[in-house]
Chain A
């Protein structure tokens, strides 16, 4: 299937007129439609490509007298292309028809657009703010508009955040957070429960909102350091996606060796985080020894990171045009020998976990996220693969991974055990991939020298350890960033967590939560 066929179908069978369609980059197609057709076009793409909304975001183009623009992005893994539906919205009456009743995965994005730009999505069912909490932020101030001023207007809005209430005899509410008992991020969870089972879980986030997207505006390629701080445990994934977008705009060819070193870093990041999560799942059902064992594996990989690249979280490695450091023979030997030890430890860990009947009893059939639910919500990454969805950007795009014969992890039961199995199998695959990369890596430069900043827009993407990390960037003629939209996999996956705990007991919430292990800061931006 070619995207032209798709467009023909869209115009002829659905009567939607396409203003313009252009292939801005080999993997990006921009399809301009009228704003009144956006809803129907998105519904068509969603059905036809069997893909949820990957991104839906707005942009303030009023300084260029073009009003606002809304972009709705779908991934076609068959065509290996990102399809952008773009619509202009008038500055005088900023609104578009809500997509969420036909494409549910758009719902959260619509709330985001409403609070950040003041663009109304007509007929949407949920208009609560996500990040700018009513208690501290006034109404009518939209941070991502270009005429926004940081000062003034400190009077908070009088509107209260409306939690969904479950009423009836014997129903009680358990509010938790934002400050939790452990050393973890802030989020507010409100359980409604009758007896043991959870009837409803409301997750209110936004506590780590720092206004990151606004901070990117006006910055250049040096903002890679800021991208690394969006979600600290995904520093490499965010930096790679950010640089990928800029490299596409500035037309910088990243040397092959640089691409390999980035891939090795991405897999090292996956290793230490998956080790952490496997340990987290064990400790949340009270199985402490394997958890301590995982902490040792994590520590081993993080100290390896420091030996190789001088940073335990690999910050500062990725830069626009390639990477800042190379791996010499001595470091490669260290990488090899450390991974050998880690592989042995993982074998022992698997034996400990899977030979314990009481452990399996706790994780098997706990916290099931059904395939249909995952699809509708737009759940991505590890959680999607555990629910039977065949999605991984490493499969769709990267040639390096193709040479290394990348195998996607796949489970179908959607429970905690499935997510644990996906993590373990990805852990094994990552170690194999690093070996392959080390073997295939050619010698040569690791960084492209000199590039010319210019105007343009592009999507940068990579499969981080949680799932796809997406950066859409538009630059002005000086090459400075005009708009940067970030989607961390956690943003959509939090909803998956809220669904999978329904019917479970509150004491099983921590283990369900850990099996997703989502980022607060990545979601809150």
Chain B
């Protein structure tokens, strides 16, 4: 217990210490995003993520968004466990044929109004897997997509900035 308390104090608040980028850029974008989410979604934007055949790098970066350094939750973005709780569906991967039904069902299970974001190059048009016998032509051929976040995989900062630019419209 004492080690936990000690480390809690020693580490302090990490979100202000993003050393590799200009920390204020991320923080300012986050504050702006938070204000927009408060206005447009009544304080929180709930996202349900579905892996439709990705290589797990995109998942890793989405999880990194919630780590103590980026801590995207403080801007009002939550990753929820059920499509019933979600405003937004976040799709990664080129959509393997085996995932078509699961992806559709997840989308159908969400209450409206709802929208879909694709994340990572594969989800847009198959990316490096384009032309394979077992994938669809990106998530757009299965569900209506409103925003695409490019990258292989996009890093947490890109994810936050893309969301901000999208919600500004």
Contact = CB atoms under 8 A, between A and B. Distances in A.
Do chains A and B stick together as partners?
A: yes
B129 interface: yes
Interface string A264-297: 0000000000001000000000000110110110
A143 B96 contact: no
A229 B97 contact: no
A296 B133 contact: no
A313 B57 contact: yes
Interface stretch (A91-99, A118-126, A165-173, A300-308): A300-308
Contact of B55 (A181, A207, A521): A521
B100 A136 contact: yes
Interface in A21-45: none
Interface string A180-222: 0111111000000000000000000011111110110000000
B69 interface: yes
Contacts of A226: 128
- Best-buried of A131, A179, A293, A520 by chain B (most CB within 10 Å): A179
A446 to B, nearest CB: 23
Nearest to A137: B97
A521 B81 contact: no
B26 interface: no
B3 A312 contact: no
Contacts of B6: 348
B3 A208 contact: no
A351 B105 CA distance: 45
A53 interface: no
Given A183-B79, A229-B128, A232-B56, A210 B68 contact: no
B3 A351 contact: yes
B133 A214 contact: yes
Contacts of B67: 292, 295-296, 298-299
Contacts of B59: 183-185
B99 interface: yes
B35 interface: no
A209 B51 CA distance: 12
Interface string A124-149: 00000001110111000001000010
- Best-buried of B4, B69, B101, B127 by chain A (most CB within 10 Å): B4
Contact of A348 (B7, B64, B106, B131): B7
Given A179-B102, A231-B55, A348-B3, A209 B96 contact: yes
A150 interface: yes
A409 to B, nearest CB: 24
A181 B122 CA distance: 22
Range class of the B interface residue count: 35 or more
Interface in B130-153: 131-135, 152-153
Contacts of B50: 179, 186
B153 A210 contact: no
A183 B62 contact: yes
A486 B99 CA distance: 22
- Best-buried of B93, B98, B152 by chain A (most CB within 10 Å): B98
B54 interface: yes
B82 to A, nearest CB: 7
Interface in A466-525: 519-521, 524
Contacts of A231: 55-56
Interface string A335-373: 000000000000010011001000000000000000000
B109 to A, nearest CB: 9
Nearest to B80: A181
A296 B129 contact: no
- Best-buried of A131, A186, A296, A348 by chain B (most CB within 10 Å): A186
Interface in B104-129: 105-106, 122, 127-129
Interface in B3-55: 3-4, 6-8, 11, 14, 19-20, 49-55
Contacts of B98: 131, 133, 135-136, 178, 206-209
Contacts of A235: 57
Given A182-B81, A231-B55, A307 B102 contact: no
- Best-buried of A215, A226, A315, A351 by chain B (most CB within 10 Å): A215
A296 B14 contact: yes
- Best-buried of B54, B100, B134 by chain A (most CB within 10 Å): B134
A414 to B, nearest CB: 26
- Best-buried of A137, A150, A208 by chain B (most CB within 10 Å): A208
A295 B97 contact: no
A400 interface: no
Given A183-B59, A312-B155, A207 B99 contact: yes
A229 B82 contact: no
B132 A210 contact: yes
A521 B54 contact: yes
- Best-buried of B63, B81, B97 by chain A (most CB within 10 Å): B97
Nearest to A316: B152
A209 B100 CA distance: 12
B134 A229 contact: no
B93 A208 contact: yes
A225 interface: yes
Given A211-B134, A296-B68, A183 B97 contact: no
A352 B3 contact: yes
- Best-buried of B93, B127, B133, B153 by chain A (most CB within 10 Å): B133
Contact of A521 (B11, B56, B68, B135): B56
Given A289-B4, A293-B7, A295-B68, A208 B51 contact: yes
A211 B132 CA distance: 6
A247 interface: no
26 contacts: A136-B100, A150-B131, A179-B102, A181-B81, A183-B62, A186-B50, A186-B52, A206-B98, A207-B98, A208-B51, A208-B96, A209-B97, A209-B98, A210-B96, A211-B134, A212-B129, A214-B132, A229-B55, A229-B127, A235-B57, A303-B19, A306-B20, A315-B152, A348-B3, A352-B4, A520-B56
Given A150-B131, A185-B56, 13 more contacts: A131-B98, A136-B98, A148-B133, A179-B106, A183-B62, A207-B98, A207-B99, A210-B94, A229-B57, A289-B7, A293-B7, A303-B20, A352-B3
Considering the complex of A and B, which 8 residue pairs feature the smallest CB-CB distances, nearest first? Answer: A232-B57, A232-B55, A181-B81, A295-B67, A211-B132, A150-B133, A211-B134, A208-B53
